[in-house]
Amino acid sequence: MKQLHVLITGTTSGIGCGLLEHYAGNNFHVTALNRRTDETGKLRWPGVRFVTVDVRDTAGVAQLIHALAQENDLPDIFVLNAGINRVDNDTHLDLVQFRDTMDTNLYGAINFAAPLTELKSWPHPIKIVAISSTTNYGANPYCLGYYISKIALTRCFQILSDMYSSTPLRFKWVILGPVPTAINSSGDKFPKIMIIIKNLFSATLENAVHTISKFALNNRHQLIYPWKAYFLFRAMGIARLLIPGFYQGQKTLSGEPRHCSK
């Protein structure tokens, strides 16, 4: 049987690191792409090809895809996992943080999709998996860039999946609920009670990695995981619509937040 080639972005921590461990330990040919050299990973997985490219670098990513196509080594699966979460909309809307989040989470995936669609032909089926979020359904308004980037990412992959359905390109997306990793707390500005509730609805890192790695191989387009988080975020979205000030931090004419959750 042909050894499958998987390229994973953002393998220095969290879900990407778990996926790297899973695929490298199960006889896949793995390319790990990171914005900084992963010395620990190199020592731990000598069989893995480590590439240093920032997913925001449109030209660098395109060059890599074209080089892989020329070497006849295009991955069978891309797991576009790299992402960031920043508080960008607390006291004011911080354009620098917002743009960086969009560049990483949205363009950081589209930078791979675009050169793949440019190729004249594809030697085999290629699965391109975006890691989106249940934040699609119940935004954290303090992390506006995260919400907008993930909702745009999901919509983009839904459209691409339709448009390229009769080619070997298979666009897929994961709507992922909370998982205890660095990113999960980096953008938190919810009231404490919401964080406790959110943690009750999260998946373990091990289960998330296991489920995503299986989904990347199958022919389904969408994975929502875990379902309990989907229901929580849907309920939060509805509560935000029905209860004014549900998330707190609503601005007044003076520019001061109406409630203070700090």
Q: Which is nearer to ligand NAP, 52 or 250 (CB)?
A: 52
Min dist. Cβ of residue 121 to ligand NAP (A):
28
Least Cβ distance, residue 238 to ligand NAP (angstroms): 20
* CB atoms inside a 10 Å sphere around CB 49: 14
Q: Which residues lie closer than 8 Å to 78 by C-beta, 6 or more apart? A: 6, 7, 9, 112, 116, 126, 127, 128, 129
Contact 83, 184 (CB under 8 A): no
H helix intervals, the chain: 14-24, 39-44, 58-70, 95-101, 108-118, 144-163, 182-186, 192-200, 205-217, 227-242
Least Å distance between CB 34 and ligand NAP? 5
**CA-to-CA dists, residue 134 to 33, 76, 111, 231, 241, angstroms:** 25, 26, 23, 9, 17
> Measured between alpha carbons, how far is 171 from 132 in angstroms, rounded to an integer?
13
For residues 85 and 122, which CB has a smaller minimum distance to ligand NAP in the complex?
A: 85
Residue number with CB closer to ligand NAP (119 or 224)? 224
d(CA 256, CA 128): 44
Give the nearer residue to ligand NAP in terms of CB position, either 6 or 121: 6
Please, which residue, 83 or 145, has the CB nearer to ligand NAP?
A: 83
Q: Which is nearer to ligand NAP, 165 or 175 (CB)?
A: 175
User: In the complex, which residues of this chain contact ligand NAP (CB under 6 A)?
Assistant: 9-16, 34-36, 54-56, 81-84, 104, 108, 131, 133, 176, 178-179, 181-184
Residue 67 CB, nearest distance to ligand NAP (Å)? 18
Residue 47: strand, helix, or coil: coil
The CB-of-199 to ligand NAP minimum distance in angstroms stands at 10
- Measured from the CB of residue 246, what is the shortest distance to ligand NAP in angstroms? 21
Task: Look at strands 49-52 and 29-34 and give their pairing.
Answer: parallel
